[in-house]
Chain A
Amino acid sequence: MIKVENLVKAFGPKLAVNGVSFTVERGEVLGFLGPNGAGKSTTMRMITGFIPPTSGRITIGGFDVVENPIAAKRLIGYLPENAPAYTDMTVMGFLRFAAELRGLRGAARDKAVERAIELCFLESVRHQSIDTLSKGFRHRTCFAQSIIHDPDVLILDEPTDGLDPNQKHEVRTLIRRMGEKKAIVFSTHILEEVDAACTRAIIIDRGRIVANGTPQELRQRSEMAGAVTMRVKGPTAAELRDRLQQLSTVRKTLFVKEDGPALCARVVPSPTALDGQLEESLFDLVMREKWRLLELKTEEGRLDEVFRSITLPDTAPSKKE
């Protein structure tokens, strides 16, 4: 549904987006991750036809956004960053306006408005003026606008920004559910959202894609992925460290530390160890030494670690030329 090829956007000499390519099919929810200023919003503005790309091509359902903008825009629902809305309108008035611009008239329009109000839990504020809404309601009003025509493609720029934890959860659930029938791209800098709602994630930094995969695949890139943490009672710290070192399945012992009456240790598997071999050898070790095993846990790898390791912090000194 969404096809982005070699997208570039220059603001003056600065490349805000630099050679971004990806595709999103129906049934996919693509999480767009990146630190502030990475180029997420700029990319989304180009996809939705708000700003023209400097170079590159975007097609939505086969329609080129630059050459056939109206046809492409018909297929898209868009929630811009910071959820702008006409503050002098009521929620209902605003949604009706959006529905009419989407070509819905009369009964079809009213039905679409009711559906959006229900999906976004706006019943209690439907006649309220938008400038009197709390941030959460205002955000959902703009969100409702984006789904009013039941679009095939949804572009959501930080859809959970400014919501409380319950509302965040609801919006994520909504995104995941709608994602079954649509192609969705949403940007965020909250990593847990990737697990909660995405089928795939792209990490973008300084205008470039630095990682692209399922949340599972991204986690694998973590240093910690596959590491095993164990808690045992019996040995001394030195003893445990020594025995762990001798195992062929262990590449490195990250730490051994006191944990109440027990010891806690974390080891990284050697590259030759097959899946599960490390756990097996650790269990055997405990049995052989007649220690008592309290816990054995395989780490999945952590997204935030991956995120940190492949994106540069904003404060990094810029390269001197």
Chain B
Amino acid sequence: MNTDASVTSQASVAALNGPRWSAVGNVITIAKRELTGYFTSPVAYVFIVIFLLLLGFFTFMVGRFFQRNEASLFAFFMWHPWLYLFLVPAAGMRLWSEERRLHTIELLLTMPVTAWQAILGKFLASWAFLAIGLFLTFPMVITVAYLGDPDMGAIFCGYLGSLLTAGAYLSISSMTSALTRNQVVSFIISVVICLFLILAGWPPVTDLLVQWAPTWLVDLIASFSVWPHFETFQRGLIDSRDLIYFILVMVFSLFTTGVIIRSHRAG
């Protein structure tokens, strides 16, 4: 019976290239398709324009960037977690709900790819899309460099922290988009979870909580929050604990995405 499988069909040639390489190849192929998908619709451009406009508005109008008279991007970065709160779920809500709505998930998962390759490929594509949006804020860097003498290392850390925050939110959006084929529902659930992740460690909220609850509990809740971890990066520090936090959030959410997808298929 096994001789049947070794016929020289074109597909089995790929198998000779080794499983590890074909895994990377599959992730890249899926990511490429997803990323191209963003840019074939005008939504992507609208999204990026809104992102940049809002960032500009908060940085200059609300954050009073110029009045601060600082050669730093603090007034710029501090808005990122709040903006991402809505923009990242908007970018991620279609990841799996669209596959389920169009039934293309049946095509994708009957290809010789594993579910985690598909989950990772799609996640990386969206993350790359967000990274492109973030990259387009480079005029900010040029501006501060022109006006003063900023700490480039701190700016790099700021961007890294911002990108990781976006990644954490995105992994949560991936999870909620696997939950439902309705993109709006997926968006809302994901905003709620991300909001919790900010508020749990946001100083105004923690200050309030301390009056009600024991400190250890407040600290415990705060430890789930992105806020303190994001802040360390903004202070120009890269701490392995913060890196681990973001990686854990992403791994956990993407793993849960896999569990949800598997449970749908099991019926």
Q: Do A and B share a complex?
A: yes
Q: How far is the CB of B262 from the nearest CB of chain A, in Å?
A: 9
Contacts beyond the supplied A45-B106, A101-B30: 14 A-B pairs with Cβ under 8 Å:
A26-B4, A59-B1, A61-B2, A70-B112, A71-B15, A75-B9, A75-B11, A80-B103, A81-B103, A93-B36, A102-B10, A102-B14, A105-B25, A152-B7
Known: A89-B37, A101-B29. A78 touches B265 (CB 8 A): no
Interface membership of chain A positions 49-72, coded 1 if the CB is closer than 8 angstroms to chain B and 0 otherwise: 111100000010111000000110
A51 — nearest CB in chain B belongs to which residue?
B265
Please, how many angstroms separate the alpha-carbon atoms of A100 and B10 in the complex?
12
Q: A-B pairs with the 10 shortest C-beta distances?
A: A103-B14, A62-B1, A84-B103, A61-B5, A61-B4, A62-B2, A149-B11, A73-B112, A100-B29, A48-B110
B107 touches A84 (CB 8 A): yes
Number of A-B contacts (CB under 8 A): 121
* Chain B residues with a Cβ closer than 8 Å to the other chain, count: 37
Q: How far is the CB of A5 from the nearest CB of chain B, in Å?
A: 13
Please, how many angstroms separate the alpha-carbon atoms of A73 and B11 in the complex?
10
Task: Point out the residue from A88, A98, A149 that lies within 8 Å of B41, measured CB to CB.
Answer: A88
**Most-contacted residue by chain A among B1, B13, B106 (CB, 10 A):** B106
Please, how many angstroms separate the alpha-carbon atoms of A207 and B107 in the complex?
24
Please, how many angstroms separate the alpha-carbon atoms of A97 and B108 in the complex?
10
Please, how many angstroms separate the alpha-carbon atoms of A149 and B17 in the complex?
16
Q: How far is the CB of A2 from the nearest CB of chain B, in Å?
A: 10
Task: Point out the residue from B17, B25, B33, B111 that lies within 8 Å of A86, measured CB to CB.
Answer: B33
Known: A102-B14, A149-B11. A84 touches B106 (CB 8 A): yes
Q: B109: which A residues are within 8 A, CB to CB?
A: 49-50
Task: Point out the residue from B9, B22, B25 that lies within 8 Å of A149, measured CB to CB.
Answer: B9
Chain B 79-112 residues near chain A, CB threshold 8 A = 102-104, 106-107, 109-112
Interface membership of chain A positions 107-147, coded 1 if the CB is closer than 8 angstroms to chain B and 0 otherwise: 01000100000000000000001000000000000100100
Task: Point out the residue from A93, A101, A108, A150 that lies within 8 Å of B26, measured CB to CB.
Answer: A101
Q: B11: which A residues are within 8 A, CB to CB?
A: 74-75, 102-104, 149-151
A82 within 8 A of B: yes
Q: How many residues of A sit at the interface, in one of the four size bands? A: 35 or more
B5 touches A63 (CB 8 A): yes
20 contacts between A and B (CB under 8 A): A1-B4, A26-B4, A49-B110, A52-B265, A59-B1, A61-B4, A61-B5, A71-B15, A74-B112, A87-B102, A100-B29, A101-B111, A102-B112, A103-B13, A103-B14, A104-B11, A150-B10, A150-B11, A151-B9, A151-B11
Q: How far is the CB of B233 from the nearest CB of chain A, in Å?
A: 35
A103 touches B106 (CB 8 A): no
Chain A contacts to B: CB under 8 angstroms: 1, 9-11, 26, 45, 48-52, 59, 61-63, 70-71, 73-76, 78, 80-82, 84-89, 93, 97-98, 100-105, 108, 112, 129, 142, 145, 149-152
Interface membership of chain B positions 228-267, coded 1 if the CB is closer than 8 angstroms to chain A and 0 otherwise: 0000000000000000000000000000000000000111
Known: A61-B1, A73-B110. A11 touches B10 (CB 8 A): no
Please, how many angstroms separate the alpha-carbon atoms of A171 and B103 in the complex?
22
Known: A51-B266, A61-B5, A62-B1. A100 touches B12 (CB 8 A): no
Please, how many angstroms separate the alpha-carbon atoms of A9 and B266 in the complex?
9
Q: B215: which A residues are within 8 A, CB to CB?
A: none
